[in-house]
Structure 1
Amino acid sequence: MTPLASALSCVARAKIVCTRGGNSQLGKVHLLLLGGVDEGAYVKLKGDVDLELRARMRYEIIEDDREGMGPYRVTTRWYEYSLQESGGQAVVEYHWHPGGLSHEDRPHVHLGTAQLRPNAVMTKKQHLLTGRVTFEQVIRQAIEYGVEPLCADWDDRLTAAETPHVLYRTWSVAPNMR
């Protein structure tokens, strides 16, 4: 939770909460939410653009018997990060939902309706494959779109938060493609 909270603090004053036992209970998939207990909650971001952020993640605390790594680690099971305009129009949505209702279970992005014309070649339903996307990457993208960082050292904070994940993750393109 600490790295994610540090990343979020770069653009918002909001809480990250998880389901009961989410800090210690092994073998159960937990839900992490941004901004409180409402699964649909968006957090307002400041800046030149009118954007809101939602982040939801399912994760599990598992045993890790790799040399020098364990005894435990957190593994992501599913994520959904979304940036939308305050009026509710999606801008971009980053998804990875294996075992969900969609036929696509690899990490992907959807362009939101705010970015598409009615006669566009692409639709909001199309899956643009991305490889694994981190919460920190979404925060960086929001800042690139014009969201105002709340701290001068935001780049260093995002790098520090993301580095352990990048160094120790077990996959980056798709779970079956290391």
Structure 2
Amino acid sequence: MFIVFEGGDGAGKSTQAALLAGALQQLGHTVLCTREPGGTPVGEKLRTLVLEHGQGEIDARCETLIFAAARAAHATQVIRPALARGELVISDRYVDSSVAYQGGGRALGERRVRDLNEWATNGLWPDLTVLLDVAPADGRDRRTAAAAAEDRLESEPDDFHRNIRRVFLDLAAAAPEQYLVLGARAPIDELATRIQARVRALLP
């Protein structure tokens, strides 16, 4: 099974992905946790290039292609082999992030970005996407707690993040059977319980 966590920056994806992985491991499953961009040596280098400040100008199309290149390596080198071994794969972000951030936030077109990533991943799609919905203001408050620095995308204005949120919710509304949408402001334990219940219901 391939499970993806999506949502705006500061939604708590990494926390919930780790909690789910721990719960599944306690049930005896072999779990691979990974993230995007990243997950492979080339993906981690591309992550630094596209997210860190001071890398020079990166226009919207270039940014989109960098994410797609990292995802192509991720799908081929990490996700597919793990699924073939019978493992459960949990990824912090996947294709929907590009559709939302570059397709919606950068206004490149959601369908165009989705089609590019379908080609990049050779049609590999998650069995379940957990969308943690966060308001832009809440996400920024979480990201900047303890004076934490924001990366290139996190530091975009709230209008950018509002467009991202809209796209995520539109994607989930279009295929509700493939998504679990939860408000990120709910208590961590409550979110974890609901996520784990949904995943257990899908396990063979």
TM range (shorter): under 0.3
TM-score (norm 2): 0.25
TM-score (norm 1): 0.27
Select the structure that is richer in strand: 1
User: Which is bigger in relative contact order (C-alpha 8 A, separation at least 6)?
Assistant: 2
Select the structure that is richer in helix: 2
